[in-house]
Amino acid sequence: MSDSLIKVRDLAKIYQIGNQEVQALRSIDLDIQKNEYVALMGPSGSGKSTLMNILGCLDTPTRGTYFLNGQDVSKKEDDELAEVRNREIGFVFQTFNLLPRYSALENVALPLIYKGVGKTERLERAREVLTQVGLGDRMDHKPNELSGGQRQRVAVARALVNKPSIILADEPTGNLDSKTSYEIMALLDDIHHLGNTIILVTHEEDIALRAKRIVRLRDGVVESDNPVESVATTDS
């Protein structure tokens, strides 16, 4: 599919640990279109974290190709990958990854510094996305003055501030209680409806069912790839 946002072919990743080779990914083919909402699932050791790192341009494959927005990123050097990451991908992590001494506003504006955006525009854009995620009244608060759910909202705002092609959410509800998890997933639903592509990495079935498509990995290969409607029907 030529219009795929993500196009992966025969992707493999081998790690050398001492004298031993560990094959984390064997041969992955995957297409993700613009504005899709995909959940990546799999047991520990299935390769989902490795695949997420490659899709997020945090790592490169041993073999195969990865086209992101029509650009082959599979053989880029670290500095080139950093540039692609900053332009194309917004990350939301389980542990929030906020800087404790910075306010919510400063944390959200941070990625724009690396992009060379001027201070006035940075803060204006950060205020805009914080308001979008429901934290217009918490901009000056530091992370330790916010609840877990509010911190994750700051992380979501930071992921959105660059207007990336993809939001990559790695276990975004892993550290949250069930009520707050529901609120964060509802926020991701809203972001998807506004046109963002979302890739969600999770081991929780009920969280994965919020996506529109579930890709399951096992032993470094895609075990199944189905729309959520058919998954829900099969499970019920």
**pLDDT at residue 208 greater than cutoff 90:** yes
Domain regions of the chain by residue span: 33-235
Computed over every residue of the chain, the mean pLDDT equals 91
Q: What does the pLDDT look like over 95-132, one tens digit per residue?
A: 888 999 999 999 999 999 888 889 999 999 999 999 99
User: What is the share, in percent, of the chain residues with pLDDT greater than 90?
Assistant: 77
Assess contact for 160 and 191: CB atoms under 8 A.
yes
Assess contact for 66 and 4: CB atoms under 8 A.
no
CATH of 33-235, one of 3.40.50.10800, 1.10.3430.10, 3.10.450.40, 3.40.50.300: 3.40.50.300
Q: pLDDT band at residue 236, thresholds of 50, 70 and 90?
A: very low
Q: What is the pTM of this model?
A: 0.89
Backbone angles phi, psi at 143, to 5 degrees: -50, -40
**pLDDT at residue 210 greater than cutoff 90:** yes
**pLDDT at residue 214 greater than cutoff 80:** yes
Q: What is the pLDDT of residue 231?
A: 59
What would the DSSP string read from start to end of the chain?
Answer: -TT-SEEEEEEEEEEEETTEEEEEEEEEEEEE-TT-EEEEE--TTSSHHHHHHHHTTSS--SEEEEEETTEE-TT--HHHHHHHHHHHEEEEETT----TTS-HHHHHHHHHHHTT--HHHHHHHHHHHHHHTT-TT-TT--GGGS-HHHHHHHHHHHHHTT--SEEEEESTTTTS-HHHHHHHHHHHHHHHHTT-EEEEE-S-HHHHTTSSEEEEEETTEEEEEEEHHHHHHHH-
- Tell me what the mean pLDDT of segment 210-221 comes to: 95
The count of residues in the chain is: 236
- Tell me what the mean pLDDT of segment 8-31 comes to: 94
Q: What does the pLDDT look like over 64-88, one tens digit per residue?
A: 999 999 999 998 999 999 989 988 9
Here the tokens at position 85 are: 């990451």
Distances (CA, A) of 47 to 26, 53, 196, 208: 9, 10, 25, 17
Q: pLDDT band at residue 1, thresholds of 50, 70 and 90?
A: very low
Q: Residue 102 and residue 70: Cα distance in Å, rounded?
A: 36
What would the DSSP string read from start to end of 31-46?
Answer: EE-TT-EEEEE--TTS
**pLDDT at residue 186 greater than cutoff 90:** yes
Q: pLDDT band at residue 221, thresholds of 50, 70 and 90?
A: very high
Rounded to the nearest 10 degrees, the angle between the axes of helix 119-132 and helix 148-160 is 130
- Tell me what the mean pLDDT of segment 43-53 comes to: 91
User: What is the share, in percent, of the chain residues with pLDDT greater than 70?
Assistant: 96
Q: What does the pLDDT look like over 101-111, one tens digit per residue?
A: 999 999 999 99
